[in-house]
Amino acid sequence: MKELLKSVTGRAGQESTGRPLPDRVGPVIRRSQRSPDCIDTTGTPRPEGGDSQQRVPNAARPAGPPIADVVIVTALDEEHAALVAALSCVLRIDSRGRRILTAEVAGLRVAVESLHGMGNVSAASAASTLMVAWRANYLILVGITGGFESAGVRPGDIVVPDQVVGYESGKLTTEGPRRRPEVYRPDFDLLTAARAVDADEWVTTIRTAPPEPGLPPRIRFGTVLSGEKVIADAESAADLRQSWPKAVAIEMESYGSALAMYRHGGRFLMVKGVSDLADANKDDRWRAYAAEGAAQFTRAVLRRIPVCEQLREADDLAVPGPVMLSICWALADDWTTLAYYFQIPRHELVRYPPGHEPMRLWDWLAVRRRLRELPAALAFIGRQDLAEALMRTASHSGAFKL
């Protein structure tokens, strides 16, 4: 590791390019130049001090989070609990001591995470972070929602949007407010998988008894409205549905989740059970049944998602944290050229915080499983020094078979 860090930030890079590296690289590399046995397999520095320091035995050291094919997120505890039970999730402890829940469904690696709060802002922030952390292909938002009775929706039904409308945006004028909605569509393949699920694949697996006997739950596809308010008023619901006659439900997280996936290149789907009809009669009677119904239907959808081994192979480039940071800092003067090489849209580049552009570019590549293209790109833009160092690092970690 010590030699690899030197090759990224030291004399070799300066000789091959004729350009000095940024001043801020030096202190970081000095902190990173520890003996190899002080860096674990995740690239996280461990305390120095030899045998006098207490160390965690290798067998007991918690592993970092694995790469997942699908990340499933929930906003409420009852939604989370229903999903964990339906997928028979396994509790693990990651390298930071964080509790994580994973499952395997029909060969797919699934991570179950919480948004830790309601609302589209929370959903967008959490979804972005989780997709980078897990490097997943798919994000599925699961939970409960309010349905529109005027659309024929009943409590217990499952809602899957064919489009998500963020209805809160607008303009205040002298003539009154004018809505300026934003619309996002779920991933076509995930939507196709949801449409292919038969009733006997999920209805009979719901163990919670419905509060009222009646017809079995159905799957309702249509427009889902997403805002920042809990709607418990029939007049407000009717006003919204007048603007969107095909709307079947209203909730608070799908717009933020869909927006995050649009920006990160991920694939999105929402699955929510109807727990109320967004009117004054809103109560908690159907919440448990709706949450379990959504969880069981999600499990059925997962069984219809194909496992793409090619995408998994592209996830194999593992670079220790210190090396990744050193490469990013060494790209302080070249990140724009690299961004043009990968054809990153300009509207995304302008959102990169000043001074953090190379790290954001790295994340952009990671969520799209394109880090394996980075060595060739670095060589193309004249940073052969960084390309060779990255290849040696990847070869050392087993990411490339050289």
Instruction: Output the pLDDT for position 112.
Output: 96
* Domain ranges, ordered by start, for the chain: 2-53+315-397, 70-310
If pLDDT is split at 50, 70 and 90, which confidence band does 309 have?
Answer: low
List the alpha helices (DSSP H) in 182-282. Answer: 188-195, 234-243, 254-264
Lowest mean pLDDT among 25-29, 296-300, 388-392: 25-29
pLDDT tier for residue 12 given thresholds of 50, 70 and 90? very low
pTM: 0.65
Quick one: fold of 70-310?
Answer: Rossmann fold (3.40.50)
How much is the pLDDT for 162?
Answer: 96
> What gap in Å lies between CA 183 and CA 246, rounded to an integer?
14
pLDDT surpasses 70 at 389: yes
DSSP annotation of 181: -
Predicted local confidence at residue 71, as pLDDT = 95
Tell me the mean pLDDT in the region 27-48: 34
Taking the CA atoms of residue 171, residue 173, residue 176 and residue 179 in that order, the dihedral angle to the nearest 10 degrees is: -20
pLDDT category at 98 given cuts 50, 70, 90 is confident
* Cα–Cα distance for residue pair 358/378, rounded to 1 Å: 13
The label of the residue with tokens 């350009």 reads 19
Are the beta carbons of 17 and 318 closer than 8 angstroms?
Answer: no
pLDDT attached to residue 39:
29
Query: Is residue 41 helix, strand or coil?
Result: coil
Q: In degrees rounded to 5, what are phi and psi of residue 270?
A: -120, 135
Q: Is the pLDDT reported for residue 33 higher than 50?
A: no
The crossing angle, in degrees rounded to 10, of helices 287-302 and 77-87 is 40
Type of residue at 299: R
The C-alpha torsion from 40 through 43 and 47 to 49, rounded to 10°, is 70
Of the ranges 49-58, 68-77, 78-87, 238-247, which one carries the lowest mean pLDDT score?
Answer: 49-58
Most trustworthy range by pLDDT among 162-176, 195-209, 320-334: 195-209
What span, in angstroms and rounded, lies between the C-alpha atoms of 139 and 127?
8
pLDDT digits (tens, 9 = 90+) for 245-294: 999 999 999 999 999 998 877 899 999 999 999 888 888 999 999 999 99
How far apart, in whole angstroms, are the C-alpha atoms of residue 390 and residue 370? Answer: 14
